[in-house]
Chain A
Amino acid sequence: MNAESNAIVPIGGAIRTPSEFRHHILSVLVENKTGVLARVAQLFSRRGYNIFSLAVAPTDDERFSRITVVVDVDTAPLEQITKQLHKLVNVIKISEIDPDEAIEYELLLATVAADAATRAQVIELVNLFEGRIVDVGSTKLTVMVAASPSHLDDFEALIVEYGLVELQRTGRVALQKLGKPTTRRKQMKGKVS
């Protein structure tokens, strides 16, 4: 065995998904100023709330950023969390997104062992998850998959079999599902029955 293959460390299968415990998604619009992320993060730790994942990026309006936080609501009632967040002067708006009502996406990057024997299988798996090969080495591939967090968990559980060198996930971003014209659906129901 060469040194390179020694570096291949399976990371131990899929991480616990937030769907297994009661989680909530907060989409927090904040002023795009230095230190705002620290304020939000410190508030969570100071009040004893667990953050499951967190993603931050500027919005289309450069004055604001959006922080998407997935919180473990067993650590504190959601209402307390949002009220405390609201007390931060830089927090403009907080939207709670019910996981059942959310479009949730997350990005995964992984470098996978893929020699001549397994390369085709890895590529097939990535294709099945509508991912892409983003870098190619002689014995490894780096792949990218953007999907719902639970799909990513599935992908991770499968890809780990080939030998993971490294894996990184971004934490999810989420938007509210668009309202469907409920009246029409009712009408359709009516026709069927």
Chain B
Amino acid sequence: MKLTGAQALIKSLEMQGVEVVFGLPGGAILPVYDPLLDSSIRHILVRHEQGAGHAAEGYAQATGRPGVAIVTSGPAATNIVTPLADAYMDSIPLVVITGQVATSTIGTDAFQEADTTGITMSITKHNWLITDANDIPRVVREAFHVATTGRPGPVLIDLPKDVSNASMEWYWPRQVSLPGYKPTTKGHPKMVKEAARMIAAAEKPIFYVGGGVLRAQGSDVLASLVELTQIPAVTTLMGRGALPDSHPLCLGMPGMHGNYAAVTSMQKSDLLIVLGARFDDRVTGKVDAFAPFAKVVHIDVDPAELGKIRHADVPIVGDVRSVMEDLLVELEAIRGSFQDISLWRKEIRSWQDNFPYTYDRTHEGPPLKPQYVIERLRDLNTEDTIVVSGVGQHQMWASQYWRFEKPNIWINSGGLGTMGFAVPAAIGAKVGRPDRTVWVIDGDGCFQMTAQELVTATTERVPIKVAILNNAYLGMVRQWQEMFYDERYSEVYLSPDLPDYVKWAEAMGCVGLRVVHPSEVDAAIEKANSITDRPVVIDFRTDTHEKVFPMVPSGKSNDEIVLGEEGL
């Protein structure tokens, strides 16, 4: 069967089981958009290529399947650089297809030419420039394989226009042959045994649970491990929901804005059992002072993470789920010899009781306390609700105050910290999980970066809900200027009513609501929940002066955690 390169690309995507792609056409990718008309694949037309990339990320995180984006060359390719970098940091499987100028003009500074593979080399797991239409099915197969196996991540296929137009003989490769790519999935049995021995003997053990557990779909095994060992677990910003927050041994978020019990239990621990986490500086604070008494069992599918920041006494390379399963077997066998850690649990429990997240609940308002808004959103929605956040104070409050009872319901930009992530990512999540309610918790600053994608949401009938915590500021930056720059506020003021978020929402075909007084909060949320045929945006007027606590000041030891205003 003779196909054009473009037809072969679309057919290859179908063979991979792709149901939806996010994109925006242009000159170099035109040939690909023609066969798309005849395909079963749904295309979501975004308003900016960054939106396509983040939507694909949201889709991937909500479904566990790779997200796909198709954009044209040059400026479109550079527009999607941010989502690629974001997905690379947070290990999100993404396949991005970019158009490229014809092979004969590559290197001549042709119209809309950019060195896309060069630009994206360090922010993709791998990328391909296809120069022969016959390579298309093989490369697509390889691309999905690389994106989804081992440590997941983004890949990019750059497809010159003449290659899309060229003719090829259709085939579908039966297998992938990449001699240099063989991720280890099975943990080394000796190491697993050693890890079990150390876990049984530890007096102050802690599970340090990262996003890798979610990527490996290991939540159920983690729950069994925690049940068996009765060892408390912290869930990082990327790992929130890997263990239900209601679990008595779930300590919640560690790190710069983590709670006292999660931070301190790591500091005092004698054994960190690290599951798909990478000692990010936002978790460790000053590395030399992080968990100074702890030995480390580190389990990760990416060998380069082991020993990168912190020496691992027992490094185990492997799929986190698979290694946890093996570990469970080893631990079952020696459960009789477990150290009694009830005193340790009691100590941690007292920290939890004495130092929970707090804010001034007596405050009557207006303005609204942002934490109160999040608590109401949480309590007026089901456990299945998917929460997507931007980056800033609102993100930290969302992570602190939401109760994540299930995996893959918390979607945010952790590693790159990309403002503007939330709205498009929520669209992707809702497209992937139309059965779920998807709430965005966004900042006013973040919202302004990619809000135009709400036009996409309206047009494509993707009824997401957006709560803007409008504090009229680039709040997180304001907080740092307040605390560390003598309250010298430099370029952080945004204004509460420019733009008018309600009118803007309406202009984009959404329902727009505004909440000023605490007494209006519930009604607005309930109204938003009752609207299912279009997106809803609520402009919550929140307190500018509210700061995120606890806080470990940047570069400081986690022992120097500041609990609140009084601690400054």
Contacts and interface: CB of A to CB of B under 8 A. Distances in A.
B178 interface: yes
Given A35-B117, A39-B121, A46-B122, A89 B307 contact: no
Interface string A31-47: 10011001100110010
Interface of A: 30-31, 34-35, 38-39, 42-43, 46, 77, 79-80, 83-84, 86-92
A79 B121 contact: no
B121 A89 contact: no
Nearest to B305: A83
B343 interface: no
15 contacts: A30-B180, A31-B180, A34-B129, A38-B118, A42-B122, A46-B122, A79-B307, A83-B303, A83-B304, A86-B304, A88-B126, A89-B125, A89-B146, A89-B178, A92-B180
Given A89-B146, A89-B180, A90-B180, A38 B307 contact: no
Nearest to B303: A83
B367 to A, nearest CB: 44
A160 B253 CA distance: 64
Interface in B292-315: 302-304, 306-308
Given A79-B307, A86-B303, A87-B302, A92 B122 contact: no
A30 B179 CA distance: 10
A38 B129 CA distance: 14
A91 to B, nearest CB: 5
A56 to B, nearest CB: 16
Contacts of A39: 121
Interface of B: 117-118, 121-122, 125-126, 129, 146, 178-181, 302-304, 306-308
B304 A87 contact: yes
Contacts of A92: 179-180
A39 B128 CA distance: 12
A44 to B, nearest CB: 11
Given A31-B179, A42-B121, A89 B126 contact: yes
A88 to B, nearest CB: 7
A92 to B, nearest CB: 5
Nearest to A29: B180
Interface centre among B125, B302, B303, B304, by most A CB within 10 Å?
B304
Interface centre among A35, A38, A42, A43, by most B CB within 10 Å?
A35
A42 to B, nearest CB: 5
Given A42-B122, A89-B125, A89-B146, A80 B304 contact: yes
Nearest to A80: B308
A84 B151 CA distance: 13
A31 to B, nearest CB: 6
Given A42-B121, A89-B146, 12 more contacts: A30-B180, A31-B179, A34-B129, A35-B117, A80-B307, A83-B303, A87-B125, A88-B126, A89-B126, A89-B180, A92-B179, A92-B180
A77 B307 CA distance: 10
A88 B180 contact: yes
A146 B181 CA distance: 36
B63 to A, nearest CB: 25
B122 A43 contact: yes
